[in-house]
Amino acid sequence: MNDPDCQLYLVSPPALGDGFADRLERALSAGPVAAFQLRMKEAPDDAIIVAAGQLMPICAAHDCAFILNDRADLAKQLGAEGVHLGRSDGSIKEARALLGPSAQIGATCHDSRHFAMEAGEAGADYVAFGAFYPTQTKETEYRPEPEILRWWSSLFEIPCVAIGGITADNAPPLVEAGADFLAVSSAVWNHPDGETAGVQAFSDLLGSR
């Protein structure tokens, strides 16, 4: 996930539904996707394990990092490339000790420069700011300005991720501000022309820069 250009970071929809493996295959075939995060907040462990077993080979075939939301323990069990930790999902240092030096560990930082610096000092591989725009994917109470991306990228080498209501239309200010990754869900999975068109829209945007 280390690249100088802004890249797409795809997050699963709140409910996968039947046939999601085929949808992911179409999405990853439509353009470059650096990482896919499986986010199943309320699902039992067995369901997460089954879903990961179906989706991880698809990600591997497309050279797309498979990141598990919240659960460092399951990431270890599954052999995922990494884990994304929210503010209440355990410590970065504990996740690093469990997953090893090569794992990708991301941290939610909302609109807080302090949280981001703490995450970087603790060994996070990326920090995520947001939500930058209104989103229906999850409840949000933080609304940072793009300037936080500019501040972070001017001072630190650790990549930053922009998240929250991002579409191909409203993404340019975030890219211009220095986002290394655009974390996207609804703009792909709910695209009126399907997930293939959703990824292609971001591919067109990011590939033109």
- Tokens found for residue 181: 């990754």
CA distances from 146 to 32, 115, 118, 161 (A): 24, 17, 20, 11
Count CB-CB contacts under 10 A for residue 96.
18
**pLDDT at residue 209, as a whole number:** 55
Are 74 and 67 spatial neighbours (Cβ–Cβ below 8 Å)?
Answer: no
**What is the per-residue pLDDT across 128-155, written as a single tens digit (0 to 9) for each?**
999 999 987 666 778 999 999 999 999 9
Are 74 and 48 spatial neighbours (Cβ–Cβ below 8 Å)?
Answer: yes
**pLDDT at residue 4, as a whole number:** 56
Cα 139 to the center of its chain, rounded Å: 17
CA atoms within 13 Å, Cβ hemisphere of 158: 19
| CATH T-level assignment (fold) for domain 7-207 | TIM Barrel (3.20.20)
**Residue whose tokens read 């500019």:** 150
**pLDDT at residue 136, as a whole number:** 75
**pLDDT at residue 112, as a whole number:** 97
pTM beyond 0.85: the answer is yes
**pLDDT at residue 90, as a whole number:** 86
Burial readout 37-72 (b: 16 or more C-beta within 10 A, e: otherwise): bbbbeeeeeeebeebbeebbebbeeeebbbbbbbbb
CA distances from 177 to 28, 50, 160, 184 (A): 26, 38, 11, 17
At 148, which amino acid appears? I
On the 0-12 / 13-18 / 19+ scale of CB atoms within 10 A, 28 is buried
Enumerate residue ranges in the chain where pLDDT < 70.
Answer: 1-4, 137-139, 208-209
Distance CA(79)–CA(52), nearest Å, equals 10
Sequence ranges of the domains in the chain? 7-207
